[in-house]
Each structure stands twice: as structure tokens, then as C-alpha cells.
Amino acid sequence: MTEGTGISRRAMLVKLGLLLNGIVGAALAVPIVRYLLSPVIREKKIGYESWLSLGGLEQFPTGQTRLATYRNPVVNSWDGETGDIACWVRNVDGQTFQVFAINCAHLGCPVRWFPQSNLFMCPCHGGAYYQDGSRASGPPERGLFQYHYKVEGGKLLIKAGEMPTPGRSGNVKSGGTICA
């Protein structure tokens, strides 16, 4: 065996070794990527949203808008207070409701209800909404996010579990006209 072929044999062994490591690396990358993507993949499998009770209807007088809170359906024990989410409930006429997300449709800051002027106002960039959630002024491109709701056994239930954001209103319908 000449020296030249010896070198090429060793060079080939180096390449083989690199190839082996490449294959193992690729094989390991699959579970790593899956682990990293678990918040995304999970959404497809089980879904984050479920029906939650906001409490008895008596808490929401006709014609008024009240703050309600619920515990997010998907929580861990170390989530603490962050698992408690607020929303605005508007009792339109005793039978029809509107449940608005607390998050401004602009950039997610918590909107406040002002019953005196019948407006929702956002403290961050000055977005304002009418009592039916439709956009009144400011930077938001749309009305407040609304949760689907149903009334069962004298309780108001909403479908929630995901923070509404402008790009993902998913199961959350847009504010504006009242849908019965």
C-alpha cells in the first residue's frame, strides 16, 4: 500500500466519521425540534380552548358592562396569578350578551370600561371602542375581540383559553354588530 492511498483511506475514514455524526445529529435534531415546537404542535392536537363559566347571570345586570374573571383552562401549578384572565361582559338585553377580551385589538393592553361615556379606552396608545366593541378611534384596526358564549343552567359560559392577538383571532369573532 502506497503512502498516497493511505492518506486517502484516512481522509475517507474522517469523512465517514463526519457522516456518522451528521446522521446522529440529524436524528437527534428531530426530537429537539419537536420539543421546541411543542407549544405549537399541541395546539393542533388537543386545542387550548374550552367552555368556561363566568358565573351566574345575576352578576351581569341588563344593559350594563361588568368585569369578569376566569381561570385559564390550561394552567400549571407555577403559573400563579397569570392564569387568571379578565374579560368584559356586556348584557345587551337580558338574553343577548357580548363578552369582550380584555386585550386591546391594537397591541393587547388591558382596555378599561367607562360607563359614563360608554367607551372602552386603552391606556397604551389611546385606542377607544364603543359599548358594542366596535372601533371608535385611535390606532386599532378593528373592534374588540369577542368570545363565543352560551347560557347554560343560569350560567354564562365562554369559549376561551388563548390570548387573542390581531393575527390570531381564531375562534374569537370580531367586535361590532351584535350576533345573537
Partner 1 sequence: MRLIQKLGDWFDLRLQLGTPIRETAEHAVPRETASWFYVFGSAALTCFTLQIVTGILLALIYVPSAGEAWNSLQTLNHGISLGWFIRALHGWGSNFMVAIVLIHMLQVFLFGAYKFPRELTWIIGVFLLLVTLGMAFTGQVLRFDQDAYWGLGIGASIASRVPVIGPWAVNLMLGGPIIAGATLSRFFALHVFVIPGLLIAFVGVHLLMVLKLGINEWPMPGRIVRRATYMQEYHELTHKQGVPFVPNAVWKDIIFSGVILVSIAVCAVHFGPFGPGGQPDPTIIQTAPRPDFFFLWLYALLSFLPPSAETPILLIGPVIGIIILLALPLVAGEGEKSWKRRPIAVLTILLVVVALGTLTHLAQNTPWSPVMDAWSSLPIPPEYLQSRTALERRGALVFQAKQCHNCHSLDDQGGKRGPALDQVALRLNSDQLIRQVIQGGGNMPAYGKNLSPAETTALVAFLRTLHPAGQSPANDASRAVTLGASEVSPRP
Binding site for partner 1 (CB under 8 A): 36-37, 39-40, 43, 48-49, 67, 69, 72, 74-86, 102-103, 106-112, 114, 116-119, 121-126, 128, 130, 136-141, 161-163, 165-168, 170
- Whole-angstrom Cα distance, residue 163 to residue 107? 12
Record the cell numbers describing residue 153, joined without a space: 343552567
By beta-carbon proximity to partner 1, the closer residue of 8 and 118 is 118
**Nearest approach, Cβ of 49 to partner 1 (angstroms)?**
8
Task: Indicate the DSSP class of residue 170.
Answer: T
By beta-carbon proximity to partner 1, the closer residue of 83 and 155 is 83
**Nearest approach, Cβ of 164 to partner 1 (angstroms)?**
9
Q: Are 99 and 147 within 8 A, CB to CB? A: yes
By beta-carbon proximity to partner 1, the closer residue of 92 and 136 is 136
- Whole-angstrom Cα distance, residue 120 to residue 9? 75
**Nearest approach, Cβ of 120 to partner 1 (angstroms)?**
10
**Nearest approach, Cβ of 116 to partner 1 (angstroms)?**
6
**Nearest approach, Cβ of 85 to partner 1 (angstroms)?**
6
Q: Are 75 and 68 within 8 A, CB to CB? A: no
Contacts of 9 (CB under 8 A, 6+ apart): none
Three-state DSSP class for 5?
Answer: helix
Q: Are 113 and 67 within 8 A, CB to CB? A: yes
Query: Where do we find the cell 385589538?
Result: 105
By beta-carbon proximity to partner 1, the closer residue of 12 and 86 is 86
By beta-carbon proximity to partner 1, the closer residue of 9 and 42 is 42
